[in-house]
Amino acid sequence: MINSNIDIRLKCQFDDFLLDVNEQFPSDKITGLFGKSGSGKSRLIRQILGFDLRYQKQSLIQFNSSIWQNRSENLFKLTENRGIGYLPQSVDLFPHLSVKNNIQFSSKNRVIDEKLYQSVLNDCDIENLTNKLPSQLSGGQKQRVGLARALFTAKNLLVLDEPLSAIGEDHKPKIMKLLKAISKKNKLPIIFSSHNRYEHAYLTEHLLHINDGIVEQSGNYSDISTDINNNFAQKADAINHLKAKAINFDTNYCVNQLESQNITLWAGYQLIEKDSYVNLEVRAKDISISLKNVKHSSILNCLPVQLVESIEISSHQYMLKLAFNEAFIIAFITKKSFFDLNLINGLDVFAVFKAVSVLPISD
Amino acid sequence: MSDLPAIFLTLKLALTTSAILMIIGIPLAWWLARPSNNSLKNNTRSLVEAIVALPLVLPPTVLGFYLLILFSPDNWLGANWIKLTGSSLAFSFSGLVIGSLIYSLPFVIQPMQATFSAISEEILEISQSLGLNKWQRIIRVILPLSKTGLISAFSLGFAHTLGEFGVVLMIGGNIPNETRVVSIAIYDHVETLQFQNAHQLSLVLIIFSLALLTLLYRSKNNRVGFS
């Protein structure tokens, strides 16, 4: 059997920070590193690339069957031989080279894979920028060029450090879609870091939640994000992720009618192409609970769900896990509502949320 | 013009000196420019930086005096040189080159150091992730990015050697075709009251140096696409 795993066992002592990671995760998926700034995401990424060796106390990094480093046996594969396409947070384009030469920089002996080059230009939507110098580009354009360069170079793995943080909200969905498509099309594993939950909800298949240099949760994204007992889901900015199919776009009101598990949903104002699948992202604190189906209200979405688990997470809040057919939804409500409604596990209730609180991202 | 040999000798000295300084200077300036967490290295670096900058503040006569002593056949360097080449270092072209190397060193090192420290660690890491090994990084990233700095290092080293006087006077004397450079020739003309010759030679030096520096600053001001 082919071993398609990334195995990372690291102990790195920085000045006042210990990075202690012991993780095995699949190498054929999009792995998302989540954590607040200073949690160690970038430091872990730099270790995967083979930088900052002087801080290592113990290290073993294995990619599939190839050992990238093993300190105890003094094995080390140089960064330049790991076949990683890397996009750092600071992008770092070469100021003296055109966009074209930046992207093709890794080509050996002037042999250029023209087909790959054209496809990354097209994917990143930068065909008309190829002759410009980095100093003539906007921040978002630089980011897209940096991504194109990483894509062009990646043989084994694509590593992206906060790839979307510098990209405007308008361009974000497009780039996120692109990353997902690349991961599928090229069978290219991706490791990316982000402190933004919306990005993880859309992209991440395997989540590594890092806090203070330690991996707090690791596993399938949808399992972790709907497990109300862990502190990834318990954060106030936790979000839900629902897959739905576009049924109709109401041009009178500019609202999308969608369907998820035979239930009608309403979302946003952007036109979603009919019959296409989208990901609906709704914040857990935007979801309310009703005992009856909601009518005569401005709230458009009302899903029949079953309360499967509830937990008191603070002096005034409860967190609920709700089963929606096959999927799960999480919601925050006040302790007052929890007791006023006499909620108990197993109860059939309705999860309601406004159509304007839904962020649709096409799949 | 009877001073043509002096002009050629000066150009030869400046060219030899700045060429050698480029070879010594690049690794030295790189070492000085790159950050380090090692406090021993940082202390050593401060000392080396001070030694490199010393010719900026010392009178050339002090430098010349010690070099003269060092070149003497009674001394280790002077004695070995004679053993190796059969001729003395003092009052020779080779001696002048050694003196000029020390004297012009800071003018070459400082622009190099400035240009090297402007190259970020990140850009080197990126080139590594793009498959470049150590040598390829030097050729394809470091040298192109520091092109203007290297040009100005060479030009300043060259121009400064042209104008050298004190050190040459101490260790070179005034031997035609061997150590009689332009600045010495001018001094000699003035001493012997040949003002017309002194004027001509001085004018040549002024025009040449002005042209060189103008070219240098023009290339600095014209560069585009860098930030």
Q: Is the pLDDT of residue B227 over 70?
A: no
> What confidence score (pLDDT) does residue B221 get?
76
What is the share, in percent, of chain A residues with pLDDT greater than 90? 42
> What confidence score (pLDDT) does residue A294 get?
87
What is the share, in percent, of chain B residues with pLDDT greater than 70? 97
Q: Which helix (H) or strand (E) holds A103?
A: helix A99-103
Length of chain A (residues): 363
Chain A residues within an 8 Å CB radius of B126 = 86, 88, 92
Closest CA to A196 of A229, A218, A179, A172: A172
Q: How far is CA A208 from the centre of its chain?
A: 10
Which overall architecture, per CATH, does domain B4-35+42-222 show? Answer: Orthogonal Bundle (1.10)
Give the chain B residue whose CA is nearest to the CA of A104. Answer: B130
A274 DSSP assignment: T
Q: Is the pLDDT of residue A259 over 70?
A: yes
Closest CA to A103 of A83, A117, A115: A117
When the pLDDT of each residue in chain A is averaged and rounded to a whole number, the result is: 89
**Contact with chain B for residue A90, Cβ under 8 A:** yes
> What confidence score (pLDDT) does residue A28 get?
85
**Coil vs helix vs strand at A17:** strand
Which of A25-29, A46-50, A134-138, B25-29 bottoms out in mean pLDDT, i.e. has the lowest?
A: A25-29
User: Which tokens hold the place of A322?
Assistant: 């709700």
Side chain identity, residue B183: S
A93 DSSP assignment: -
Q: In whole angstroms, what is the distance from residue B147 CA to residue A360 CA? A: 50
Q: What torsion do the CA atoms of A179, A183, A184, A187 make, to the nearest 10 degrees?
A: 160
Identify the bridge partners of residue A24 per DSSP, sorted by sequence position: A7
Question: What is this model's ipTM?
Answer: 0.76
> What confidence score (pLDDT) does residue B142 get?
94
Strands (E), A107-213: 157-161, 190-194, 206-211
Task: Convert the pLDDT of each residue in A317-359 to its tens digit.
Answer: 999 999 998 889 999 999 999 999 999 999 999 999 998 888 8
**pLDDT average, residue stretch B1-27:** 92
Q: Which residue of A43, A79, A91 is the best one to mutate when testing the B interface, meaning the one whose CB has the most B CBs within 10 A? A: A79
Chain A residues within an 8 Å CB radius of B225 = 95-96, 133, 135-136
Chain B residues within an 8 Å CB radius of A87 = none
Least Cα separation, residue B227 to chain A (angstroms): 7
**Coil vs helix vs strand at A146:** helix
- Encode A160-188: b = buried (16+ Cβ within 10 Å), e = exposed: bbbbbeebeeeebbebbbbbbebbeeeeb
pTM, two decimals, is 0.80
Q: What domains are defined for chain A? A: 5-225 (3.40.50.300), 239-362 (2.40.50.100)
pLDDT-derived band at B34, boundaries 50, 70, 90: confident
Q: Are the Cβ atoms of A80 and B128 closer than 8 angstroms?
A: yes
User: Which tokens hold the place of B210?
Assistant: 């002005």
Task: Convert the pLDDT of each residue in B52-93 to its tens digit.
Answer: 999 999 999 999 999 999 998 888 888 888 888 888 888 899
**Contact with chain B for residue A292, Cβ under 8 A:** no
Closest CA to B98 of B171, B46, B149, B45: B171
Q: Is the pLDDT of residue A269 over 80?
A: no
Half-sphere exposure of B30 (CA within 13 A, CB side): 12
> What confidence score (pLDDT) does residue A164 get?
87
Cα A130–Cα A46–Cα B122 angle in degrees, nearest 5? 45
- Going from N- to C-terminal start, the domains of chain B cover 4-35+42-222
Give the chain A residue whose CA is nearest to the CA of B144. Answer: A96
pLDDT-derived band at A303, boundaries 50, 70, 90: very high
CB atoms within 10 A of CB A90: 15
Q: In what order do the strands lie in the sheet with A288-290?
A: A288-290, A348-353, A301-312, A317-324, A327-334
